Each structure stands twice: as C-alpha cells, then as structure tokens.
Chains A and B, each alone.
Chain A
Amino acid sequence: MKLSQTEIEAIQHEMTLYEDPGAATIEALKIVQEHRGWVSDESLEAAAAVVGVTPTQMEAVATFYNLIFRQPVGRHVIMICDSISCYLTGYEEILAYLKKTLGIEFGQTTPDNRFTLLPICCLGNCDNGPAMRINTDYHGRLTPDKVDAILAEYP
C-alpha cells in the first residue's frame, strides 16, 4: 500500500527538522494515525519507507509509546487518568461508571465504534481531578452526571 500524498509531504517536512531525517519516526507514526485513526502493519511499513528506517525500527518505536495505536480504535478515544491525584479524588468511581455506561473494559471499543476506553498516566490536570481526555480535549472535576453530558458531545 501507499500513503497519500498529503501524508508523505507532511512526513517529509518533519524530516527536514532534524540533523538525521530518520529521527522523524514518531512524527511519521503520528501523521499516519491522524489520517487513518490507527497504525496498521501496512501503513507502518509504508511510513518506514518514507522515513528511511526498517519496519522493525519503526515497530520498536510504535510499540514503545502510549499514544500510538497499533489496533483500530473508535471514533473517539477516552483516556482516563489513573495517577495519584486522580486516584485521591475518586477516578475509580468515574472509571466504573464509564465501563458500565459504555459496556466495555480498558482496551475495548464499543460495538458502534464510537468510543475506545484507555487508561493514561497523569495528564497534568491534577487540580481538576478526576480528569480524562477525549481525543485532544481535557475534561476535569468529573462526576457521573457530568460524564453523561460530556459523552453526548461526541457523536
């Protein structure tokens, strides 16, 4: 398979920002993910060819970082913070509510492909715990009622 011209150009631009163009592996994976939602084996190989690294090198990077998805995800990705400040302010109750409402566990996607649920390390939103991130949006001081209203914003 081939990446789109837009993806290739975006990756090639990132490669100009480093002394070694091969340093743009993470950017390349992010660009592919932005366009396709996740990184398949085929798109990983295609991205590696653009950057000029082996697929194995690319895979080593892809599987190391939390924000690169090597499996399909839903239209919206919910990441709930499970670190200390959110633990103290009650993220476990919010997590239980999310699991019940969505009918899924961590790492799963709802059957309608709307939401994927994942844990995330401290989001840097500690003064607003319990906190979560949906796609690139931050949400804090969560309560079950608030979670209902927030989920409704993501059709």
Chain B
Amino acid sequence: MEKVLTKNIRDNREPMTIGEYEQAGGWEAYKKALHEMKPTEVAGLVKEAGLRGRGGAGFPTGVKWSFMPRFEENPEKRPAHVYLVVNADEMEPGTFKDRLLMEGDPHQLIEAMAIASYAIGADIAYVFIRGEYTECQRKLQRAIDEAMEAGYLGQDILGTGFNLKMYLHMSAGRYICGEESALLSALEGRRAVPRHKPPFPAASGLFGQPTTVNNVETICNVPHIVKNGAEWYKSLGLHKDGGTKIFGASGHVARPGLVELPLGTKLSDLLDHFGGVRGGRKLKALLPGGGSTPLLTDEHLNTPMDYEGVGAVGSRLGTGTMVVIDDQTPIVGVLKNLEHFYAQESCGWCTPCRDGLPWVERILTNLEAGHGKPGDIELLDLHVKLLGPGKTFCAHAPGAMGPLESGLKYFRDELAALIPPEADTLDLTQPANAASNN
C-alpha cells in the first residue's frame, strides 16, 4: 500500500532535515496553496476529500473549517488574531500515534499547519503538546526554526502577503485538555475546564477570537490532499471513508506497534498485522480506538475499520489504536482500570461526572474484591444512563460510559457471577467502598 503520512519516517524516528524534506517533495503543497489557490479553495478541497478528525470524534475537518468567519471581503472587520490550534495532547489510554508523527516527521506537521492556517485565515498557530512529550517538543521546535529560516513562516511569506507565527505550548498534564474547549482554557493559562457550546471555537475560541482546533494526524493529511486532490484521497480508503489511518495495537497482541493502512481495512486483517493475540490465546474483547470506545468482540472481526464501519457495530473508530484483551483476563479488572482513569481525570466541573465516575469505580472495585451486592449490575446500568450523552457538561463522562455499557452488554453474566450468593440485600446506608477498604 502507498504510505502517505509515514512515508518519510525512519525506523529510528530520526527526522529529516528541512533540505531532505524538500527533496522528498515537502513544502510543495504549501507553495501550491499560497501561489495557486485561494484560502476558500483549500478549505473546499479538504471538505470535498471528506477528511474526518483523527482525534476520536471523527468530525469532518472541512465542515469544521467552513464555520470560520471570513474576512477576505472586508479586511477592516478582521479581529486582532485568528488562531489555529493543533491538539497534540495525546492522552487517550492506549493511544500513541501522534507521537510517531511528531517525532518521525515534524516538518510534515509544520507544513500542514501552515497550509491549514492559510485556509482558515489564521495568523498565529499553536501546537498544544502533552507535557511528557519532550522529544516531540525538541524536534518540532527545530522544524519551526528551520521553516522560519527558509521563509515558510513569518511576515509576507513567499511574497504573498500571508503572515504566520507558530508556537509550541507544553501542557502540564490532564486528560481533559484533549477536549477542545478545555484545551483552549488551558492555553489561556487557566484550569482546563470545558466551555459551554455554543459559542463554538470558530465564533469565540482562544482569547475570544475565531479558532479552529484540529488533531495532529488529521491535519497531517492536508498537504497530501492539496498536492494530490480530493479524488485521489477518497480512493485510498477501502470502505466508506477516504484516506489512510495510523492504526495501532497494544495490550495482549504478539507484536504491539503502529502501522499506516487504508481506512476500511478489516479488523481481522489488522489484528493479523500485529501478530494476533499473544501466547496463542483467544481474543476476549478489544477497544477499537482508545479507552473511551465501546468494546468489540470476536463477533466483530469482519468490521471494516473506518468511521462508518465501526459506528455500524455500536462502537467508534476513535483514535484507531486498539487495546487487545485476551480470554484469560477478567473483564471487571479492565473496566475498573478504565473507570479509575476517567474518575481521576474528571475536571470536577459538573456533578454527575465528578461524583458518578468514582461511584462507578467503587462498584467495580467491590465486584472485583468479591464484595458485590445484588443490585450492583443495575446500579451500573443506571450510571450508563445518567452519565450518558446530554447529561453532563462535556463528552468526558459519556466517553467513560462507552466501555462500561458495552462491557455490561457482552459480559453481563461474568460480572453478575462476581456477586457472592450470600450477599442478599443492597444496604444503601453504607458507603459503597466500605467493604473494599480503599
């Protein structure tokens, strides 16, 4: 298969110099966009290509860009700044793909950001990087400095009148920063608490200015679309969505890692690529695209891995990096680990999330320790409802309910069997964690 996003990436992830990147065709798409295309044409092309967000939500990128206000006709109305923010806060459990793109080919991301900034009319672009990714920081800063020196960033770029500054922001760690409005709060130097929508960031984003937030992998597709066109891009996919995807596997697979393959690749082929379940064991379940995507099981192995395909079987493609669970693993421990993560990473802003997620974790902790009570399974069902979409301020708690709801669906008997037969009443006067002693 034709490698698109990873074609310049070496096994040791040592990035190209800017000269080598140019030799490999780098910065050509940027020149084409600046010299031959209007910003709206670039945005229109991305919309036509059907590029969808690779950060987890799968929202069409071109549609997101089309929400940005335009000032070409009346430049006097242009606000002080228009922003592009790249979300490199890769903290979804089991996700490690954007790190590869930033460490292995930083120039690709910088060029992609420059083209996207041109398309949406941004004059300042930030990369919001999770604090632990210091290697990404070092390589991206070098790439930005090289692009500055080569005249691809700065004032009156390539004599076109386009201006662009680019900065890195190193986060200080919190999963909620990945939620785009919380990310903007963090970038403004405040607690990463999500904001009410509307207004959406395109209307009022960073410092109240028009802002677009895109994921690293999403935006890295842009130069290739500009260079090769929308039809080419759509033809890369094998099912309904176009393009390639960086897929990954971790957990109980024989050869954990990352690979770029067409969107729509069959789940069983993907598993085979990573050597299947390790130690000759059988597949129990997998999270197809990070911690907040509902579980799939061996009945779903024929699923085409794209947004439409995974959506049709009740889960989400998410970040496309799957976590594989073998048949020797009790599901309760998996769910407890995931819900612990979400409980801990709740920003605490809204009550259902702040109080509901620790309750879910305690119920699972009790079940695992053999202290479950009749009614626990139904209580988990209730949480799935009360923490679902529309019940909380942002998508954090609904995301946390994804694996829980699917766990209750596929492994209900296994979970119910954890309740000891002598436990006969649900004593609501006692705290749920009294028995587990933590």
Contacts and interface: CB of A to CB of B under 8 A. Distances in A.
Contact of A26 (B172, B258, B321, B344): B172
Interface string B31-59: 00000000000000000000000000000
A120 B175 CA distance: 11
B341 A84 contact: yes
Most chain B beta-carbon neighbours within 10 Å: one of A67, A124, A125, A128: A124
Given A122-B92, A124-B90, A136-B134, A65 B173 contact: yes
Nearest to B274: A127
Given A19-B80, A64-B174, A121-B91, A83 B341 contact: yes
Interface in B167-189: 167, 169-175, 186-189
A57 B191 CA distance: 9
11 contacts: A26-B189, A27-B169, A30-B131, A67-B132, A84-B341, A85-B323, A87-B333, A124-B133, A126-B95, A126-B248, A136-B132
B252 interface: yes
B94 interface: yes
Nearest to B348: A64
A49 to B, nearest CB: 15
A84 B81 contact: no
B250 A129 contact: yes
Given A67-B173, A121-B93, A126-B248, 9 more contacts: A20-B188, A23-B189, A30-B170, A53-B189, A65-B173, A66-B131, A85-B323, A122-B92, A124-B99
A98 interface: no
Interface in A108-137: 120-129, 133, 136
A66 B172 CA distance: 6
Interface string A71-107: 0000000000011110111000000000000000000
A68 interface: yes
A61 B94 contact: no
Given A124-B99, A126-B95, A88 B251 contact: yes
A30 B256 CA distance: 33
Contact of A66 (B133, B174, B186, B334): B174
Interface string A1-38: 00000000000000001111011111101100000000
B132 A123 contact: yes
Nearest to B165: A17
Contacts of B250: 85, 88-89, 126-127, 129
A133 B132 contact: yes
Interface in B269-325: 287, 291, 321, 323-325
A22 B124 CA distance: 17
A125 B96 contact: yes
A128 B334 CA distance: 18
A74 to B, nearest CB: 18
Nearest to A137: B134
A48 to B, nearest CB: 11
Count class of interface residues, chain B: 35 or more
A60 interface: yes
B329 interface: yes
Nearest to A141: B256
B196 interface: no
B174 A65 contact: yes
Contacts of B93: 83-85, 121-122
Contacts of A127: 96, 248-250, 256-258
Contact of A24 (B96, B189, B248, B287): B189
B336 to A, nearest CB: 9
A29 B188 CA distance: 14
Contacts of B337: 82-84, 87
Contacts of B257: 127
A25 B340 CA distance: 29
Contacts of A67: 131-132, 171-173
Contacts of A65: 131, 171-174, 192
Nearest to A30: B172
Interface in B335-366: 337-338, 340-341, 344-345, 347
B96 A18 contact: no
Contacts of B323: 84-85, 88, 126
